[in-house]
Amino acid sequence: MKHVDFAGRLVMLGFGSIGQGVLPLILRHIGITADRITIVTAEERGQEVAAEYGVRFIIEAATRENYRDLLSPLLTKGDFLLNLSVDVASVALMKLCQELDCLYLDTVVEPWAGGYTDTSLTPSQRSNYSMREEAVALRAAFQGGPTSVTAHGANPGLVSHFVKQALLDVARDTGRTVTVPAPADRTGWATLARDLGVKVIHIAERDTQVSLTPKRPGEFVNTWSVDGFVGEGSQPAELGWGSHEKALPPDGHRHGFGCDAAIYLMRPGASTRVRSWTPLEGPMHGFLITHNESISIADYYTLRDQAGAVTYRPTAHYAYHPCDDAVLSIHELAGKNWEMQPEKRLMTDEIVHGMDELGVLLMGHAKGAYWYGSRLTIEEARRVVPHNNATSLQVTAAVLAGVIYAMENPRLGVVESDEIDHERALAICAPYLGDVVGAYSDWTPLLDRGRLFPEDVDTSDPWQFKNFRVV
């Protein structure tokens, strides 16, 4: 079904796994013809997919020097720039779209090439926190202008809608729906989370997809962008820092500017592990990879007193167990001191089985822990839409929802995922998420701890970050 008609042109910048996967969804659900879509990308990969749908395909990399000259002739008032690229600064593109009066969406706030690992910058300056602050600082100047949806893929993006639905589920199951209706604004949502006793929110993901061709030495294998994963994995580990936390980690630092909702650790996220839980995997160790949603969720669910002091905020972060070949790839990458392997391979058609179990884990409330999210198998992903695997489809469905939201609400300026109507977004995504389920658990990060060796844990509060971190 068509969700919205769009009279303008759509320019897609970047055409990797997400671009190729979202194109059929756009043509299926948005009233736009292929002749009004243009793809601009740095490499030939995906050219045959564009040809399959009759979409114009331009091979030229967008750089700091040429992006205006490259994109401006392709865009005019009322058009849409869908940014699915890497190594192109999102804020620069957002500013260009405001000048041209065009709609905009990206799945992550990207820097220019090299920004993730530029050692002339401090760890704070090359963090997602810093990049998000730069994007949301545009709010005042963009107010009433064309909508720019920032950081709306699966995570960040879809998971923010999962959080809201999970909060409503916990409220229902703890008998609070009589006194706490669905909140109408940011303060209402944060108040609900506080009143429910939510202390920690994990984006808890386990990818079990398996390739017919195992990872080889000297090769980085992943089910989504290799460059994207290595880039964010090389950034400092970051997490939203909750008001219940007793002390900063020994290697933890505040940023000293902005909303102050998050901290960073003096180590790469791809070398930092945390304990988490998903219904099918059970207890697991995931990587604390920095993501925009770790900061935006913590910020969105912050409550302050009249003096501005924080009275409530949950700890929020990613706990990611990628597919097993990607784990081996990260292990090899770390052993080479974060120098990328000479070969890269994106797992697509060679995947033989497995699923991506992606959701949010809310902890500390009266029922302990509650996971809510998507279980999408490779077989289901291939059945419902071409050019996707289980991981990419969770992203592309959310990209579709964000694009539709911007088209339906074209004059909102800068919009983050947490501010979007979660019911509308989930309704658009639902046909492409496989089984969407909620599951309660009595799991805590203290389960079975100290069985083999004594450990330094805080038994008085299982939800302290020191109990989650793997040392």
pLDDT-derived band at 186 (thresholds 50, 70, 90) equals very high
Segment 431-459 shows an average pLDDT of 97
Question: Given this model, what pLDDT does residue 295 score?
Answer: 98
Write out pLDDT tens, residues 60-93. 999 999 999 999 999 999 999 999 999 999 999 9
pLDDT tens for each residue of 388-419: 999 999 999 999 999 999 999 999 999 999 99
Query: Is residue 2's pLDDT more than 80?
Result: yes
- What lies within 8 Å, CB to CB, of 22 at 6+ separation is 82, 84, 395, 396, 399, 400
The answer on pLDDT for 268 being more than 80 is: yes
Confidence at 157, pLDDT banded by 50, 70, 90: very high
Residue 286 has pLDDT above 70, yes or no: yes
Percent of the chain clearing pLDDT 90 (strictly above): 97
Rounded CA gap, 422 and 155, in Å? 14
Instruction: Give the count of beta carbons closer than 10 Å to the beta carbon of residue 350.
Output: 13
* Amino acid identity at 267: R
* Stretch 290-300: mean pLDDT: 98
Residue 333 has pLDDT above 80, yes or no: yes
By mean pLDDT, which of 95-99, 114-118, 240-244, 276-280 is the weakest?
Answer: 114-118
Distances in Å between the Cα of 165 and the Cα atoms of 285, 369, 457 are: 25, 14, 31
Give the whole-angstrom CA distance, residue 419 versus residue 427: 16
Q: How far apart are CA 281 and CA 93, in angstroms?
A: 39
Side-chain-side CA neighbours of 306 within 13 Å: the count stands at 0
Given a cut of 70, is residue 179 above it in pLDDT? no
Total-model pTM: 0.98
